[in-house]
Amino acid sequence: MSTRTSNWTSNWKSTRAGARTAAARPGASAWLNLVVCEAKMVVRDTAGLVVPLVLPLLILVMSAQSAGDQVVTGDLTALEVYVLPLVLTIVLATIGVINMPSFLAYYRRTGILRRLSATPASPLMVLVAQVVVSVLQAVLGLTLALAVAFLVFDARVPEHLGAAVAVYALAMAAMYAVGMVVAAVAPTPSSAVAIGLVTFFGLGALGGMFGGSSSLPGPVATVGERLPFGASVQALGAAWVGSPVEPAHLISLGAVTVAGVVVAALFFRWD
Amino acid sequence: MSNASSMSNASSMSNASSMSNASSMSNASRMSNASSMSNASSMSNASSMSNASSMSNASSMSNASRMSNASRMSNASRPSGPSGPEPAIHVEHLHRRYGGTVAVDDVSLRVEPGEVVGILGTNGAGKTTTVEMIAGIRRPDRGRVRVLGLDPQRDRARLRQVLGVQLQEATLHAALTVSELIGLYRTFYPDPRPAGELLELVGLEQHRGVRFEMLSGGQQQRLSIAIALVGRPRAVILDELTTGLDPRARRRMWTTVEHLRAEGVTILLVSHAMEEVERLCDRVVLLDGGRVVATDTPAGLVTRTGAMTLDDAFVALTGKELEVAE
């Protein structure tokens, strides 16, 4: 009984001390550890990893042979002008619009975000870590696709390499922002997958995923080019050919990024 | 089956009688008022036979009744007295509604440093909402909460360092292993407990490499509690500590709580298992329909209702059977 009493007083004193000291925020090691843990989650979800890494490769392999023979301008073929921009955009869209939201919706559904909000870590850290892992995933998907394109199909490096990299980064931001909106509005993990898939195919269809935007009715093609998928394909294609990237495409990607982040921030629920 | 139902009949019968016992409590206090009144009047009668006696009767009566009222009130609301240390958890007049439903209705409670207090109630009594507001996860509509001297809403970040929380229906990353999860949550705190110590505390040393999704329900629960203790909290909230555990795992969990108590950790635990509350808790707060029905020691609840067991005391005070913890 006396030990309990002394515990009471020491507890109370340290309580007062604790009330005065500033709270330490989780540091670099927490961030690093969380990113590693999120990466493990993504890698261990093998089925989810196959889609963004293997599906684009499959499309590349199936269309590269014939596309490589269709000369579009100079010594550039349809492979560089159309197929590679499309494949690389699919990598971004599958990761950003389908995979990432399904993880975040699952974290909300199972109370992981709520659990984290009861620790010094913020659930926002999980969102950031997921984005970081998604970026790494996109780089991996990009590397795989380009390696196959360069080594097997003799594709050429973009004429404007810097512009291509910048467009790719901006397209990634736009796709992940769309994904954040999906994660924000989807009530369950399976609805996140459903909304993600519909969004992916919708953006893809309008953006020329099924046979090029030239086969779409004029106004539809124009709308598609203003959406992130079409804008990404067009802008990457332009950078590859060496022609100036149309400002309209960049503005579209930038606007989608900003709007997506704002909408997600307004509607995101933590539990 | 018929045995079970007749048993529950029997207990509800004893309830009826203990309910009348409960109401006789206020009778008793009224009686004590009456006796002090009669004392007062007999005194004043003895001292004087004048007309003024009726006046002095009146005043001494009201004094006597005020005194006994005051002593009753202080007994009920603060066992440690106003000069005692600041409580570890102090909740005053907490309100919370969801749409048209009032979940928590004027709940007040105190948990002294080092104390183990149980919140007991049926499903929907407002237990989880109450502890979520104490933990700062939910915002109260009205009322005041202090945990270790901190406001859960304003001093959120500082509270997170000193309060450990195990939430009901909150899981962990399914594909991560026990070690990875402990490692992850350790990085959130400045001075975390060693992983080995935590695993030993909840008996998961043999399962370090097992993914969360592959653990049994009891093992998941134990890991969840280990994670609530990672940051060496001075106070812990445990929501549904042993719900869904088999008897062996439940006993193991109780031992863990007793370890914590020995370390001087303040514990607020939500339960609907009587045996658990009786064994672990210094005091019990009984919630029913979002309101505090009684606050007392487990033994005190039994005595004051005149019931034989805490189970009976619960029914006497709420008029409801407590579910058997599944």
**Residue A6 tokens, joined:** 């002394």
Indicate the SS3 state at residue B68: helix
> Could you tell me if A16 lies within 8 Å of chain B, comparing CB atoms?
yes
The confidence score (pLDDT) of residue B163 equals: 95
Indicate the SS3 state at residue B33: helix
Nearest to B103 by CA among B301, B239, B291, B245: B291
> Could you tell me if A17 lies within 8 Å of chain B, comparing CB atoms?
no
Give the residue on B whose Cα is nearest the Cα of A34.
B184
> Could you tell me if B37 lies within 8 Å of chain A, comparing CB atoms?
no
- pTM value surpassing 0.90: no
Q: What order of strands is seen across the sheet that includes strand B89-98?
A: B101-111, B89-98, B142-147
Indicate the SS3 state at residue A217: coil
The band of B214, judged by pLDDT with boundaries at 50, 70 and 90, is: very high
Query: pLDDT tens-digit profile of A143-180?
Result: 999 999 999 988 889 999 999 999 999 999 999 999 99
A-chain CB neighbours of B85 within 8 Å are 8-9, 12
Higher-pLDDT residue of B251 and B80 is B251
Give Rg (Cα) of chain A.
23
For chain B, the average pLDDT equals 76
> What percent of chain A shows pLDDT beyond 70?
90
CA distance B95 to B133: 10
Tokens 């097997």 sit on residue: A152
The confidence score (pLDDT) of residue A213 equals: 66
* Residue in B167, B174, B180 nearest the CB of A115: B167
> Could you tell me if B264 lies within 8 Å of chain A, comparing CB atoms?
yes
Tokens 């959130």 sit on residue: B188
* Residue in B148, B180, B187 nearest the CB of A26: B187
Q: Give the residues across from B286 on adjacent strands.
A: B120, B294
Buried b (16+ CB within 10 A) or exposed e, A86-100: bbbbbbbbbbbbbbb
> Could you tell me if B174 lies within 8 Å of chain A, comparing CB atoms?
yes
ipTM over 0.95: no
Give yes or no for a contact between A239 and A164, defined as CB atoms under 8 angstroms apart.
Answer: yes
Q: What's the first-to-final CA gap in chain B, in angstroms? A: 17
Sign for the CA dihedral angle at A109, A115, A118, A122 comes to negative
Nearest to B216 by CA among B240, B244, B252: B244
- Asked if the Cβ–Cβ distance from A23 to B158 is below 8 Å, we say yes
CA distance A270 to A248: 35
Beta pairing class for B235-239 and B266-271: parallel
* Residue in B167, B185, B187 nearest the CB of A114: B167
Which stretch, B36-40, B149-153, B322-326, has highest mean pLDDT? B149-153
CA distance A200 to A138: 16
Q: What's the first-to-final CA gap in chain A, in angstroms? A: 42
- Asked if the Cβ–Cβ distance from A118 to B135 is below 8 Å, we say yes
Which stretch of DSSP H or E encloses residue B190? none
Query: pLDDT tens-digit profile of B75-85?
Result: 333 344 444 57
- Asked if the Cβ–Cβ distance from A110 to B171 is below 8 Å, we say yes
> Could you tell me if B185 lies within 8 Å of chain A, comparing CB atoms?
yes
Phi-psi region of B87 (alpha: psi -120 to 50; beta: other; left: phi over 0): beta
> Could you tell me if B209 lies within 8 Å of chain A, comparing CB atoms?
no
B-chain CB neighbours of A119 within 8 Å are 160, 165, 185, 188-189, 231
